[in-house]
């Protein structure tokens, strides 16, 4: 039966890869089929309807709220001009040296990446950051890559991600935070190295473009003035609270929302701005929330006793226990987290992580190391992920070009993560 | 090469561009450059004038960059490109330059843009980028623009004005190639003609603002 479940999973991956089915729908369908194959009854204990669908859907509810708060904060950073001001200042101070501008935009992206993820993060840092970098001569692929590498460097501090891994892998937030602290230096080093090496390798590029003389499109952004300097500290507020003062994730993010609001908005306009950005945040968060509902359902399915029993011997047989082999095998498998592959933690990878833990093949903390390391690769290089697609398109290049340029760097980050995992948890 | 076929509306729009002065085109370029979204139009115009004067006054120098010619500029919305690595190179997009040349003739702008002058203008334009990238002229441009971002007593730190180098490059090209009007006028006309003729240039990979396909993460 285990083999049949794996074949069904492979079919699910194929459906996602070929875009026959949106990821969320494919995951729910997979979950139901896996539960049926595992012999789950329709209702009652460990059943398809009650356990997989009813209990699985809200499993990641706290993550969903965190995502919503992150999107809300992201909307506020945009509407109040905080993100744009950061980039503008960087260009004004360092515009003569493209590498300085790129490093500055990288820092902004990292800050934004701690607040929110996916396309909203790329847009926050990239809407001004990408054209600003291109204007000072940074080549387009490097500009798009800089935004993505920056967001990925901030990802280890992204509070919704802590919440996701904590709930999905049933680990305390402290454990997740501890591993993320170890992963961060690799992510940051790779991001800085990307900027330094790529700007050196590719130099500068200036184009005489047809667009340069076009009539200016009207934009709401025109009306944004500079945000005050103390408002620019907004992305640090949730971080300081959650990381330095051990405040829980949701209140930390709410504090960020409040800080952005009071530092940028007159009392009379606060209610209106809060509501407008909150509703905007719902729109941004809709897609990831749907995905997290589906992941919760899939996790519930692969943790059913019948599924664990069927998959355990198979997964055990192919999972390396030797630390060196662990690093070598999982490093070699990195490409499988791209193109909605089976190791994508926002797809079937979450299910595989669930199986690895439920079957007792690795300790949960080791699975955390695997999943977060793959997430660093996926978050930057996957040509189907929204932030990569958006950044590449906005810069005027293809996601595949961005993947080719960034993959070596993020692959090294994953290697670092696996080494830490093997040394710490195996 | 694609022949320039202009419908009445496009032709009228292009002819209306003639009324816009060269400094206004520079200010428009700055306004299109991110980081200037909230700036006062008068300030942008002042910067455009300063950058124009700076570029026009630059001594003509022969380019040391390798010059290569290729097709495919129209698809990418480019006339020319300067890249500093692996070796400084000026890339001229022959299809766009040829179309611009044809357009100048068709619009009766030949007295402003003599036949073949755009190729020389493109080289002169990219030479300024080369000069600004490698030489001290960049700091001189920044000082002349006078955008103070930090003041401490008598000391002032001048900020970078994104897009000013592009205006300087166009002004230099106009001056050294003896063009009657800024190349920005012809660029704007070409953009209007290209947009009317076929799907917008530079959208091979989709509009920058299009909703990205794919899903979260």
Reduced to 3 states, what is the DSSP secondary structure of residue A238? Answer: helix
Identify the pLDDT of residue B172.
95
**B residues 185..204 contacting A (CB < 8 A):** 185, 187-188, 190-191, 194, 201-202
Cβ distance B184 to A87 less than 8 Å, yes or no, reads no
pLDDT band at B1 (very low <50, low <70, confident <90, very high): very low
**Predicted pLDDT of residue A380:** 95
How many other CB atoms sit within 10 Å of the CB of residue A368?
27
Residue labelled with tokens 């079957």: A359
pLDDT of A217 > 70? The answer is no
**Ramachandran angles phi, psi of B85, nearest 5°:** -125, 155
Q: What residues of B are in contact with residue A207 (Cβ under 8 Å)?
A: 78, 80-82
Residue A42 CB burial class (10 angstroms; 0-12, 13-18, ≥19): exposed
Q: Calculate the average pLDDT of chain A.
A: 89
Over the range A56-71, which residues count as b (16 or more CB within 10 Å of their CB) and which as e?
A: bbebbebbbbbbbbbb
pLDDT grade for A389, boundaries at 50, 70 and 90 = confident
B209 pLDDT exceeds 70?
A: no
Collapsing DSSP to helix, strand or coil, B78 comes out as: strand
pLDDT surpassing 60 at residue B22: yes
Q: Are A344 and A378 in contact (CB under 8 A)?
A: yes
3-state secondary structure of B215: strand
Closest-approach residue (CA) in chain B for A206: B82
Taking CB atoms and an 8 Å limit, are A393 and B81 in contact across chains?
Answer: no
Q: DSSP assignment of A70-139, as one string? A: HHHHHHHHHHTTHHHHHHHHHHHHHTTSHHHHHHHHHHHHHHHHHH--HHHHHHHHHHHHHHHHHHTT--
Which residue from A minimizes the CA distance to B79? A208
- Whether residue A213 and residue B209 make contact (CB cut-off 8 A), yes or no, is no
Is omega for the bond preceding B86 within 30 degrees of 0, making it cis?
A: yes
Average pLDDT of span B9-14: 83
Residues B164 and B145: beta-carbon distance below 8 Å: yes
Nearest to A161 by CA among A191, A118, A109: A118
- Say how many C-beta atoms besides its own lie within 10 A of residue B49's C-beta: 16
* pLDDT for position A1: 74
Among A59, A42, A153, A146, smallest CA distance to A100 is for A146
Segment holding A201, helix H or strand E: helix A173-202
Rg (CA), chain A: 22
Residues A293 and A168: beta-carbon distance below 8 Å: no
Are B191 and A213 within 8 A, CB to CB?
yes
State how far the Cα of B101 lies from the Cα of B115, in Å rounded to an integer. 6
Local structure of B142: helix, strand or coil: helix
CA distance A346 to A179: 19
Residues 100-129 of A with CB under 8 A from B: 117-119, 127-128
Q: Residue B204's pLDDT is what?
A: 41
Which residue in A172, A130, A162, A161 sits closest to A148, CA to CA?
A130
Query: What average pLDDT does this structure show over A259-279?
Result: 93
Average pLDDT over residues A417-423: 96
| pLDDT for B4 | 63
Confidence label for A212 from pLDDT (cuts 50, 70 and 90): confident
CB within 8 Å: B162 and A95: yes
Inter-chain Cβ pairs, chain A and chain B, closer than 8 A: 183
Q: Considering CB atoms only, which of B122, B133, B142 is closest to A137?
A: B133
Contact between residue A393 and residue B209 where contact means Cβ atoms under 8 Å apart: no
Query: In this complex, is the C-beta atom of A248 within 8 Å of any C-beta atom belonging to chain B?
Result: no
The secondary structure of residue A335, as a DSSP letter, is G
Mean pLDDT along residues A308-321: 83
Residue with the bigger pLDDT between B149 and A186: it is A186
Mean pLDDT of B7-22: 85
Write the pLDDT tens digit of every residue in A74-118.
889 888 888 888 888 888 888 778 999 999 999 999 998 988 877
Closest CA to A195 of A116, A118, A86, A90: A90
Is the pTM here over 0.90, yes or no?
no
B86: chain A residues, CB-CB within 8 Å: 203
Mean pLDDT of A220-244: 80
Tell me the ipTM for this assembly.
0.85
Whole-angstrom distance, CA of residue A410 vs CA of residue B31 = 36
Would you state the pLDDT for residue B10? 83
A323-356: per-residue pLDDT in tens?
999 999 999 999 988 877 788 888 788 888 988 9
Q: Is B216 on the interface with A (CB under 8 A)?
A: yes
H or E element that contains B53: helix B41-57
Which sign does the torsion angle of CA B174, B175, B177, B179 carry? positive
Q: Which chain A residues are within 8 Å of B13, Cβ to Cβ?
A: none
With 60 as the cut, is the pLDDT of residue B147 above it? yes
What is the Cα B31 distance to its own chain's centre? 13
Burial class (CB in 10 A: 0-12, 13-18, 19+), A248: middle
Nearest to B184 among A96, A213, A397 (CB): A213
Out of A88-97, A356-365, B172-181, pick the least confident: A88-97
**In this structure, how many other beta carbons lie within 10 angstroms of the beta carbon of residue A332?**
9
> Is A215 in contact with B37 (Cβ distance < 8 A)?
no
Considering CB atoms only, which of B81, B159, B165 is closest to A207? B81
Interface of B with A in 32-91 (CB under 8 A): 32-35, 37-38, 76-86
Query: B5 pLDDT exceeds 80?
Result: no
Q: How many CA atoms lie within 13 A of A135 on its CB side?
A: 32
Cα A41 to Cα B183: distance, rounded to the nearest angstrom: 74
Q: Do B85 and A203 touch (CB under 8 A)?
A: yes
Which pLDDT tens digit goes with each residue over B38-79? 788 999 999 999 999 999 999 888 888 899 999 989 888 899
Q: Which of B162, B191, B202 sits opposite A213 (nearest CB)?
A: B191
Q: What is the pLDDT of residue B195?
A: 76
């Amino acid at each position: 039966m285990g083999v049949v479940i794996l074949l069904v999973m492979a079919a699910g991956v194929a459906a996602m890869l070929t875009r026959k089915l949106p990821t969320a729908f494919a995951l729910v369908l997979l979950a139901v089929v896996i539960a049926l194959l595992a012999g789950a009854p329709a209702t009652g204990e460990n059943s398809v309807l009650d356990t997989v669908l009813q209990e699985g859907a809200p499993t990641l509810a706290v993550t969903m709220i965190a995502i919503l708060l992150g999107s809300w904060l992201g909307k506020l950073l945009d509407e109040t001009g905080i993100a744009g001001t950061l980039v503008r200042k960087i260009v004004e101070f360092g515009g003569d040296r493209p590498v300085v501008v790129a490093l500055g935009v990288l820092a902004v992206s990292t800050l934004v990446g701690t607040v929110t993820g996916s396309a909203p993060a790329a847009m926050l840092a990239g809407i001004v950051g990408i054209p600003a970098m291109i204007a000072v001569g940074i080549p387009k692929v490097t500009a798009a890559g800089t935004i993505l590498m920056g967001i990925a460097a901030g990802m280890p501090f992204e509070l919704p991600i802590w919440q996701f891994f904590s709930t999905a892998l049933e680990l305390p937030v402290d454990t997740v935070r501890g591993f993320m602290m170890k992963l961060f230096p690799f992510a940051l080093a790779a991001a800085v190295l990307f900027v330094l090496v790529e700007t050196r390798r590719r130099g500068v590029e200036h184009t005489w473009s047809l667009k340069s003389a076009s009539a200016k499109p009207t934009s709401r952004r025109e009306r944004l003035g500079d945000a005050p300097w103390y408002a620019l500290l907004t992305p640090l507020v949730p971080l300081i609270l959650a990381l330095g003062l051990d405040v829980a994730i949701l209140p930390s993010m709410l504090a960020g929302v409040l800080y952005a609001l009071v530092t940028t908005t007159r009392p009379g306009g606060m209610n209106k701005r809060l509501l407008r950005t909150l509703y905007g945040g719902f729109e941004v968060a809709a897609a990831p929330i749907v995905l997290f509902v589906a992941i919760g359902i899939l996790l519930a399915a692969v943790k059913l006793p019948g599924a664990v029993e069927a998959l355990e011997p198979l997964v055990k047989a192919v999972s390396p226990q030797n630390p060196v082999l662990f690093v070598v095998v999982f490093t070699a498998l990195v490409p499988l987290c791209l193109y909605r592959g089976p190791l994508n933690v926002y797809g079937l990878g979450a299910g595989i992580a669930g199986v690895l833990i439920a079957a007792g093949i690795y300790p949960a903390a080791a699975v955390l190391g695997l999943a977060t390391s793959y997430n660093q690769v996926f978050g930057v290089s996957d040509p189907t992920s929204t932030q990569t697609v958006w950044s590449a398109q906005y810069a005027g290049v293809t996601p595949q070009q961005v993947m080719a340029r960034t993959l070596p760097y993020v692959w090294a980050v994953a290697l670092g993560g696996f080494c830490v995992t093997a040394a710490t948890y195996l | 090469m694609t022949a320039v076929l202009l419908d009445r509306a496009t032709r009228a729009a292009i002819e209306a561009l003639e009324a816009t002065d060269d400094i206004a085109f520079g200010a428009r370029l700055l306004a299109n450059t991110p980081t200037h979204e909230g700036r006062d139009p008068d300030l942008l115009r002042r910067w455009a004038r300063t950058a124009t004067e700076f570029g026009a006054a630059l001594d003509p120098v022969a380019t040391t960059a390798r010059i290569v010619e290729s097709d495919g500029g129209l698809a990418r919305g480019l006339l020319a490109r300067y890249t500093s690595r692996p070796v400084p190179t000026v890339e001229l997009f022959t299809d766009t330059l040829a179309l611009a040349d044809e357009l100048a003739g068709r619009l009766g702008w030949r007295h402003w843009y003599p036949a073949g002058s755009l190729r020389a203008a493109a080289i002169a334009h990219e030479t300024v980028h080369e000069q600004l990238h490698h030489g001290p002229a960049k700091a001189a441009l920044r000082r002349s623009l006078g955008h103070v971002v930090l003041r401490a007593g008598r000391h002032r730190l001048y900020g970078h004005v994104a897009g000013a180098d592009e205006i300087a490059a166009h002004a230099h090209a106009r001056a050294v190639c003896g063009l009657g009007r800024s190349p920005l006028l012809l660029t704007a006309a070409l953009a209007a003609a290209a947009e009317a003729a076929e799907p917008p240039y530079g959208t091979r990979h989709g509009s920058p603002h299009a909703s990205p396909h794919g899903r979260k993460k």
